[in-house]
Amino acid sequence: MTATPAGPKSRQAIEEQASALVARLQGDVDESERQAIFAWIDADPHHAVAFARMDAAWEAGERLKARPPAESPASEFAASGQAPISGKPQTSRRLLIGGGVAASLAAGAVAATAAWRFTRDVETYRARLGERRIVRLSDGSKIHLNTASTVEVAMRQDVRRIHLVKGEALFEVAHDAHRPFLVDAGSARLRAVGTAFNVRIREDVVELTVTQGVVAVAQREDVVRRIEAPRITAGDGAVIRSDAVAPTVLSPDLLRQRTAWQNGVIELDGETLPQAVEEFNRYRGRPIIIGDPRLANLRVGGRFEVDEADKFLTAVECSFPVNAITAADGSILLVMRS
């Protein structure tokens, strides 16, 4: 996704338009107007960045207005490590997820995620192996769960917190500037800006794919809630691991491929045989196993239903010198044909 730099005048016009659209979304907006707003965001990366900044500023303003009088605005800077506006001693603001979790945040993301789970009522939703399901939240948002996936949901008056425990999910987020939509997944901390995005927890990384709107991404909650947090816009993605966030530009084909699971489809376009096998194994109780290292560099393509592993294996045997041997436990062993 590319764009020419915006000049000072055009930048001001874009920010004014973004501010107006953020304000418009706070009222009653029908679906056609909502889609028109998202179309404006997607039309130019400058639009997306400006909208994200205006939305974050709006949310910060709402948090300040909602704060009890006894608490000081200076404490808003405590999480980011910035100096308070006033030199007077200040008491720390209680974090949205509960005062007892503050120490956990300092200790690490895993502890924080575990702690908030017990502070309020949390609903757990699961998709069994081979199952796909849709979870409809009370705010109108939807969570599409892929096979063998689990999410924990805490819908509160000030924040919507989601923990993707394992697997993969696509989030369709209803816009609500008063309640940020925060997603924890592995080492990733994500904040949605009225958007749709896919998150997959892989063995070593968290894979983010944004299909609509804007997603802020970081490793710590205090960072992801700031205006300057890295933004991933529609049509792009990111790979997150420990202290690294790597934005990625996605082609339309790759974007479609990553979200094809919603239609019960596995799309292969030049993946290695082990990569293809990994995709089918996500939906199988009995795995397909690569039994010969010489098969690792074979590349495959095609479009299959998620439960069509047999058709996939037949295609592999017809295209390459490969035998698929069924073991006694139902697993499939792939070996080079002699």
In this structure, are 137 and 203 located in the same domain? yes
In this structure, are 121 and 202 located in the same domain? yes
Query: Does any domain span residue 247?
Result: yes
In this structure, are 119 and 234 located in the same domain? yes
In this structure, are 119 and 215 located in the same domain? yes
Query: Does any domain span residue 71?
Result: no
In this structure, are 18 and 131 located in the same domain? no
Query: Does any domain span residue 144?
Result: yes
CA dist., res. 254 & res. 278, Å (int): 17
CATH of the domain at 162: 2.60.120.1440
Strands (E), 47-109: none
Query: Does any domain span residue 87?
Result: no
In this structure, are 191 and 281 located in the same domain? no
In this structure, are 114 and 243 located in the same domain? yes
CA dist., res. 76 & res. 83, Å (int): 10
Short-list 336, 338, 332, 21, CA closest to 175: 21
327 contact partners, CB below 8 Å, separation of at least 6 = 333
- Structure-token pair, residue 260: 């094809």
Strands (E), the chain: 123-127, 133-136, 142-145, 149-155, 160-166, 168-172, 181-185, 188-201, 206-218, 231-233, 236-241, 244-249, 265-272, 288-290, 299-305, 322-326, 332-336
CATH of the domain at 290: 3.55.50.30
In this structure, are 60 and 141 located in the same domain? no
Query: Does any domain span residue 17?
Result: yes
Query: Does any domain span residue 100?
Result: no
In this structure, are 132 and 230 located in the same domain? yes
Residues 273/296, Cβ–Cβ less than 8 Å: yes
Model's pTM, two decimal places?
0.67
In this structure, are 277 and 245 located in the same domain? no
In this structure, are 322 and 246 located in the same domain? no
Q: Which of 255, 275, 307 is the last residue of a domain?
A: 255
Q: Which of 255, 281, 306 is the last residue of a domain?
A: 255
Q: The dihedral of CA 65, 70, 76, 79: what is its sign?
A: negative
Domain that holds residue 14: 8-65
Short-list 162, 71, 174, CA closest to 124: 162
318 contact partners, CB below 8 Å, separation of at least 6 = none
Q: Which of 203, 236, 255 is the last residue of a domain?
A: 255
Query: Does any domain span residue 159?
Result: yes
Query: Does any domain span residue 286?
Result: yes
Domain count, the chain: 3
The pLDDT score that the predictor gives to residue 54 is 74
Q: pLDDT by residue for the chain (338 residues), tens digit each? A: 444 445 555 878 888 888 888 777 766 667 677 778 877 876 776 787 777 777 666 655 654 554 444 443 333 333 333 333 333 333 332 222 233 333 333 333 344 444 444 444 789 999 999 999 999 999 999 999 999 999 999 999 888 999 999 999 999 999 888 898 999 998 888 988 768 999 999 988 999 999 999 998 876 666 666 666 788 999 999 999 877 889 999 999 999 999 999 999 999 999 999 999 999 999 999 999 999 999 999 999 999 999 999 999 999 999 999 999 999 999 999 999 98
In this structure, are 332 and 283 located in the same domain? yes
